[in-house]
């Protein structure tokens, strides 16, 4: 993955958000990365791990539909300000960030802030408190897509692209309905049925919406 990232500088484009606000997001992405064999490799692993990740996070397992992936690079004070990955027209359920970078690490910053959430009047908003996750190479960070988070600015003294903080983000979308023809296994968790070994003692995960 790292070899692909460092050799693909010419394919990276400026990352964007709805409304195209450059003060909200400044990093680089490969728009077509999700169609690559490298993306499918990560996607398959996340799909296989999904029941365990959901159980660890205390969230229900839901039928999975679309799976997205994006490869990003950040250096030179680039960042992604406070946001959530879930929206009215974007039924993402799980966000997973896989960090890769050169060893020894040649950048500073780039931490992920995961904010606590305040529920008020049926609406969610970020609290002032948060957890900080360092971008350690070969680390996967998973969290519900509705959680507020931000990527802190990256400082890269060398200025070299290969010294950037690289990350592969994978999103699992909720399907409209389960696919009864699908099976558990290598990248095919789409059936909407929770295997017995993933059901907690309190029954969490037994039923799906």
Q: Contact at 8 Å (CB) between 164 and 156?
A: yes
Task: Name the token pair of 84.
Answer: 């959530």
The encoded tokens of residue 134 equal: 């360092």
Domains delineated in the chain = 2-189 (2.60.120.620)
Task: Round to whole Å and give the CA distance between 12 and 6.
Answer: 10
- 52 three-class SS: helix
Task: Report which DSSP code applies to 94.
Answer: E
Q: What is the pLDDT of residues 172-186, one digit of tens each?
A: 998 887 766 654 443
- Whole-angstrom CA distances from 11 to 6, 7, 20, 73 are 11, 9, 20, 11
pLDDT at 20 exceeding the cut of 60:
no
Place of tokens 């519900």: 144
The fraction of the chain above a pLDDT of 90, given in percent, is 63
Model pLDDT, residue 179:
66
**SS3 call for 41:** helix
What is the number of other CB atoms lying within 10 angstroms of the CB of residue 128? 7
What's this model's pTM, rounded to 2 decimal places?
A: 0.85
Query: pLDDT, tens digit, for every residue of 45-93?
Result: 898 888 889 989 999 888 888 899 999 999 999 999 999 999 878 899 9
pLDDT tens figures, 30-45: 989 999 999 988 988 8
pLDDT at 147: 96
pLDDT, tens digit, 9 for 90 and up, residues 141-170:
999 999 999 999 999 999 999 999 999 999
Which pLDDT does position 81 carry in this prediction? Answer: 95
């Amino acid at each position: 993955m790292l070899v692909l990232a460092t050799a693909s500088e010419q394919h990276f484009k400026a990352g964007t958000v709805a409304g195209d606000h450059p003060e909200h997001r400044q990093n680089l992405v490969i728009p077509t990365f999700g169609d690559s064999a490298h993306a499918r490799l990560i996607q398959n692993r996340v799909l296989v791990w999904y029941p365990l990740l959901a159980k660890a996070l205390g969230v229900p397992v839901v039928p999975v539909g679309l799976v997205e992936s994006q490869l990003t690079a950040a250096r030179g004070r680039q960042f992604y300000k406070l946001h959530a990955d879930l929206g009215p027209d974007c039924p993402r359920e799980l966000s997973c960030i896989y960090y890769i970078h050169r060893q020894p690490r040649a950048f500073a910053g780039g931490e992920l802030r995961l904010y606590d959430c305040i529920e008020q009047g049926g609406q969610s908003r970020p609290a002032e408190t948060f957890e900080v996750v360092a971008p350690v190479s070969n680390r996967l960070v998973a969290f519900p897509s509705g959680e507020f988070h931000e990527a802190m600015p990256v400082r890269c003294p060398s200025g070299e692209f290969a010294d950037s903080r690289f990350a592969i983000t994978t999103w699992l979308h909720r399907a409209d309905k389960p696919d009864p023809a699908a099976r558990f296994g290598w990248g095919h968790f789409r059936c909407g049925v929770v295997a017995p070994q993933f059901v907690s003692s309190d029954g969490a995960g037994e039923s799906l919406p």
